[in-house]
Structure 1
Amino acid sequence: MNLIPSQWSTPTFICEDMQSFEIGFVQELYMASAPVTLWDGKEHDPHYIELSYHEGILPEGGVKERFRIQTVRMKSTEEIIGFVSLYHGYPEGDSLYLAMMCISGDFQNQGYGQEVMKHFLLEASLLGYSEVRVNVSLRNWAGLRFWNKSGFNYISGIFGDKEFAEGKFADIELINRW
């Protein structure tokens, strides 16, 4: 199985496998990210990044070797401004599944996420993958717009509560297929 390289780049960023000494900083970035409680009713996991690094975020029956968490670092300053976590070969062998993509609030709405995603999709296609999937809360309107703009135009399913009400939540799985 071809894996996303441990380091790849865009014109502005270097994306590379996260190192253990970066866990604390990336966890802070994750904790400061979007208001997930409004989207799925859950709090940020205070150990999400550490768990991602050591065990991976795996589908049922998944193996750590197919999981990656990578930092997104500015080439000009070497500052970490985000991260991407992904699983190779789920749900099909030619699929990549994005567990999470996060760009720091200070760097949002500047086209950086689109740049990272454009080059990530290029890397995936060069490795022989035919699609990338992502799960998005239906209440995450900015995220839905971002993923749609990034070419995630196929819907594979809607999961969660069946009706809209306070305290009810649902997600949609989007696919970018080429």
Structure 2
Amino acid sequence: MNLIPSSWSTPTFSCEDLQSSEIGVVQELYMASAPVALWDGKEQDPHYIELSYQEGILPEGGVKEKFRIQSIRLTTTEEIVGFISVYHGYPREDSLYLAMMCISGDFQNQGYGQEVMKHFLLEIGLLGYSEARVNVSLRNWAGLRFWTKSGFNRISGIFGDKEFAEGKFADIELINRW
């Protein structure tokens, strides 16, 4: 199976495998990224990026070798402004699962996330993948708008609580298939 390149780029950004020296900066971006507790009822993990780097975010039965986390840097300043983490070959061999994508709040709503996703999808298409999947909280309205605008317009399932109420949460798995 082909893994995304350890380094790839867009006109504005360079994306490279996360280095251990970058864990702290990327963890700060993750912690500042969004009100996750409002979406899924869980607090953000203060060790999420370190765990991702060391062990990976894996599906049941998954292996670390199929996981990759990368920093997203401005090419002009080398500043880390986000990250993307993916698992290759889940739930099907020709699927790529986006565990998370984050762009710093200072760079949101300017089309940068769309730019990264457009080039990312081109990269994985060249590797032979026929779809990408992402899980989004139904309460994450900005995320739902972003992912559907990025072509994730097929639903493979809705998971979680069955009714809407305070303290109840659900997610939707979206697919971009080409």
Q: TM-score range by the shorter chain?
A: over 0.9
1:61-111 CA-partner distances (Å, limit 9, x unpaired): 100000000000000000000000000000000000000000000100010
Cα RMSD over matched residues? 0.3
Alignment match, 2:107: 107
Unaligned runs of 5+ in 1: none
State the TM-score, normalized to the length of structure 1: 1.00
Amino acid at match of 1:34: A
What is residue 61 of structure 2 aligned with on the other side? 61
Identity %: 87
| Equivalent position amino acid for 2:45 in 1 | D
1:176 corresponds in structure 2 to: 176
Matched position secondary structure for 1:115: helix
Q: Which runs of 5+ in 2 are unaligned?
A: none
Where do 1:130-149 residues align within 5 Å? 130-149=130-149
The CA distance in 1 between the partners of 2:12 and 2:25, in whole Å, is 20
- Report the CA distance between 1:135 and its aligned residue: 0.1
Q: In structure 2, what residue type is equivalent to 1:2?
A: N
Aligned residue number for residue 20 of structure 2: 20
Aligned position for 1:52: 52
The one-letter code sitting in structure 2 at the alignment partner of 1:101 is: M
Cα deviation 1:33-82 (Å, max 9, x = unaligned): 11001000000000000000000000001000000000000000000000
Work out the CA distance in 2 between the residues paired with 1:162 and 1:50: 33
Which residue pairs with 2:40 in the alignment?
40
3-state SS, counterpart of residue 61 of structure 2: coil
- Aligned equivalents of 1:61, 1:40: Cα separation in 2: 24
Deviating above 4 A after TM superposition, structure 1's stretches of 4 or more consecutive aligned residues are none
Q: Which residue of 1 aligns with 2:92?
A: 92
